[in-house]
Amino acid sequence: MVDRNGAVIVFVVLACTACDGADDSAPTTLVPGALEANAVVEDVVDGDTIDATIDGRTDRVRLIGIDTPETKKPNTPVECFGPEATSFTESLLPVGTAIRIERDTVNRDDFGRLLGYVYRAEDGVFVNYESIRQGFATPLSIEPNTAYVELFVEAARSAESDDVGLWSACKE
């Protein structure tokens, strides 16, 4: 589990990296280098939900702190930039990708889905953050799972300022 102090330290590192002129379009690694995997991607359901095998059992995982436009919600039309958000998640997490899932305070939502911060194990890319920063998701904070709320809000501000992803495509 990542505590709030760890999240603040990560944010400071990202802010300093941005000052050095880093390319914001490149995937962000919050934890440098490879991570120990604890799951494998079985399917990308939509932009903010995946199926993963954990200890030999497949579980549906809802990415904490993000919301992507709907593509599969019953009786709901496909929302602007929903298919693109799903494709983006598929590009970061192809089937068979080793991942690390970190939990926050509450482990499951009302639908029984495991709630997690998802990192690509091979290089530490923080998928939840990257989806927001590249404009494929918006922050969605539901107490008490808010370890990265400040980081996610800042990522959304940057994406909106850069007019990328849904910020560009879904103007009303």
pLDDT at 18: 34
Give the residue-averaged pLDDT of 10-33.
43
pLDDT in tens, 138-157: 999 999 999 999 999 999 99
Do 81 and 165 meet the contact criterion of CB atoms below 8 Å apart? Answer: yes
| Catalytic residue status for 4 | no
Q: Token digits for 130?
A: 């990257």
Express each pLDDT in 92-140 by its tens digit.
Answer: 999 999 999 999 999 999 999 999 999 999 999 999 999 999 999 999 9
Return d(Cα 6, Cα 9) in angstroms, integer. 5
**Which of the residues 62, 100, 120, 133 is marked catalytic?**
62
Smallest CA-to-CA distance from 32 within 62, 56, 7, 10 is with 10
Give the pLDDT of residue 130.
98
Q: Are 106 and 144 in contact (CB under 8 A)?
A: yes
- First and final C-alpha spacing in the chain: 38
Q: Is 60 a catalytic residue?
A: no
Structure confidence at residue 6 (pLDDT): 40
Among 60, 70, 79, 103, the one annotated catalytic: 70
* Active-site residue, 90 included: no
Catalytic one of 84, 100, 113, 133: 113
Q: What pLDDT is recorded for position 126? A: 97
| Range 75-96 average pLDDT | 96
Torsion of CA 17, 21, 24, 29, to 10 degrees: -30
